[in-house]
Amino acid sequence: MNPALNLLHPYPFEKLRALFADVTPAADKKPIALSIGEPKHASPDFVAQTLADNLAQLAVYPTTAGLPALRESIARWAERRFALGDNGLDAETQVLPVNGTREALFAFTQALINREQADALVLSPNPFYQIYEGAALLAGAQPHYLPCTAEHGFNPDVNAVPAEIWQRCQLLFICSPGNPTGAVVPSETLKQLIALADQYDFVIASDECYSELYFDEAAPPVGLLQACAELGHTDYARCVVFHSLSKRSNLPGLRSGFVAGDAAILKQFLRYRTYHGCAMPVASQLASIAAWGDEAHVKENRDLYRAKFDAVLEILAPVLDIQRPDAGFYLWPRTPISDSEFARRLYEAEHVTVVPGSYLSREVNGNNPGANRVRMALVAPLAECIEAAQRIRRFVESL
């Protein structure tokens, strides 16, 4: 077996099961899970209908590159959403459909890392989506963690990274809006990172799967390709973005997303994927075209999340150090006791599940930026989120 498998850390939910193993939650309370970031809003009917109308396409082998019509719909959506200007995106060479961002982030790392560089680094935010770390380890690189603390708006302090680290960096992951913090990387920081990528010759992989969940309709989160376009960097050299229909359109089971950006990188990634065996079924591609072409359901989705944040924050703000994030569907409050003890005792007393922040982070130089925080995913219906918030407040007041 690949010895690098032994380097993989247990997934946060595996740690959570171990934390709760000897706990019996209150039997008189219905369980409420704020732990898993799985959208619970209804999937759009028109997407399901498109899928049903095209089930005959199950008899057709899909191509890895995807239907030209799907790549066109993605390119046009990205151009509108991120103001990419006249040059826009070339649907033929700068867009590649994928089976969700999780699969693509992992596969991309395997295709990109040059194993001949013995000290290669993959940089990522800390806390982070654990796929970044696992992908780096299995690609033969070493993860390097950039702390995301409140002092820097929960984004990495780019200026604190020494030149020696940038010189060893082959791949930089950013997540904007962030999981679990909800922080959006500012345009100025994105442009600074683009300049660093040019200077030190590394690739930026921007995970933007939460980009369509935001609060101000007049100020959607900026994206990496948008920052490139504003710089006149219209070949998107060394820059790729990852997007998904899972959060945007409440379609996590469709497993549909895309990678877009640097054409030379995507050409080689496509070559990798033809061996990987990961083509999206044609019926799913046609359903994806329908989803990328409609914004009304996405706006309705944001309205639902906005109502939940308003209600939950009103309940919890008086008793917890908690703030509305820039975007996304997570809350990242500070806990009055250790994060693991908070999660365990909350589960026991109120049958509400949250994720300890330290499970989503790594300790570096004696500091874990997720310690004394928990992640709460506001994915359940409004009434259930309100009930969960009331139970959490009751628990906090009992401490």
Q: Are 284 and 101 in contact (CB under 8 A)?
A: no
Type and span of the H or E element at 18: helix 12-19
Which residue reads 């008189």 in tokens?
A: 28
pLDDT at 86: 78
pLDDT at 174: 98
Q: The whole model's pTM is what?
A: 0.97
- Backbone CA torsion sign across 329, 334, 335, 339: positive
Q: Are 284 and 194 in contact (CB under 8 A)?
A: no
Which residues, listed in sequence order, are joined to residue 263 by a DSSP beta bridge?
A: none
Provide, rounded to the nearest whole percent, the portion of the chain with pLDDT above 90.
Answer: 98
The single-letter code of the amino acid at 18 is A
Domain limits of the chain?
A: 3-42+297-398, 60-293
All residue ranges of the chain with pLDDT < 70 are none
Q: Are 375 and 333 in contact (CB under 8 A)?
A: no
**Residues 282-301 as b or e (16 or more Cβ within 10 Å = b):** bbbbbbbbbbbeeeebbeeb
Could you list the beta-strand ranges (E) of the chain. Answer: 32-33, 95-98, 121-126, 142-147, 169-175, 203-207, 239-244, 257-261, 330-331, 352-353, 355-356, 374-377
Which residue reads 């359901």 in tokens?
A: 297
R_g (Cα) of the chain, nearest Å: 21
pLDDT at 85: 85
CATH 3.40.640.10 fits 60-293, yes or no: yes
3-42+297-398 architecture in CATH?
A: Alpha-Beta Complex (3.90)
pLDDT at 316: 98
Instruction: Please enumerate in sequence order all residues whose Cβ is within 8 A of that of 362, keeping only pairs 6 or more positions apart, or say none.
Output: 126, 133, 143, 145, 368
Instruction: Please enumerate in sequence order all residues whose Cβ is within 8 A of that of 25, keeping only pairs 6 or more positions apart, or say none.
Output: 31, 347, 348, 349, 350, 351
